[in-house]
Copies of this chain bind each other. A is one copy, B any other.
């Protein structure tokens, strides 16, 4: 559809409607201060010409781009997608548009993305987690916008935080296992170098076991995050090969848990009678699997919603607002059959 004529501008519309560009500009805004009549003329002229406002020019002139930048580790992940949905829904009343990027669980890629996004002059930035490259952190600190870190509780936040404790979530799960009578408990996660949240869960897992006086050695790192069903499956094989007496396994995500569980079933092990399996993230999958899989709900959608609220609040406080306010969510255990010890 590449024609040659230049697209109409506001002054074309103004000319056709017989008014000034300023009047057009105002008539096109929501809270239009223009008389009914002129506004009709203007709208008609715009329609005739096929005029579309140029936000690039508007943004340059007004100093407001209407962008919110957000980075998530992976776009192909229901949990992060839920957070983005929450963010979008929370921003629906505003005219803010989301500039979404995914980092592939790579801090360097995150840095690259943030650098790109900063050029767009977003009015706020939402990032996943509190672990960034030094340069990335510096960029975020120097950027003159609200920064919201989510999905974690960074010890030293850049600005605002809307998250939860991954370590504590793992602890909740360990206690659930313990309550059910399991004592030899393993953990399946990804390599610990790329997924800080996965690492926190693993650390929380180990710490909780230690507190209970249980063995903490049954840890398998299954590859580069995000780990897949396949990696969950092979990790389970590895785990049982090394520690055959393992009674229960916590997986870093529902997907890997499902992979691990089906691997058990293929191997003739009954879940939960022979081995218990739990996941993380409260995917639909864990609810519908047979047996249903115990998991942790971190309220991913809510996280996005709260991030949006935070951004809006900060925008209204126009200007100064140094306080670093955390919105903390408590992950909820969803106990299901997959970890219910046969009496």
Contact = CB atoms under 8 A, between A and B. Distances in A.
A136 to B, nearest CB: 13
Interface in A4-57: 4, 7, 50, 52-57
A60 interface: yes
Interface stretch (A113-121, A163-171, A174-182, A238-246): A113-121
Contacts of A145: 1-2
Interface of A: 1-4, 7, 50, 52-57, 59-60, 65, 75-76, 78, 81-82, 84-85, 88, 97-100, 102, 115-116, 118-121, 139-147, 158-159, 228-230, 233, 255, 258-259, 262, 265-266, 284-285, 287-290, 314, 319-321
A146 to B, nearest CB: 7
B97 A321 contact: no
A311 to B, nearest CB: 12
Nearest to A4: B319
**How many copies of the shown chain assemble into the complex?**
2
Closest 10 CB pairs of A and B: A76-B81, A55-B119, A229-B288, A56-B59, A75-B81, A50-B142, A56-B60, A229-B284, A52-B118, A53-B119
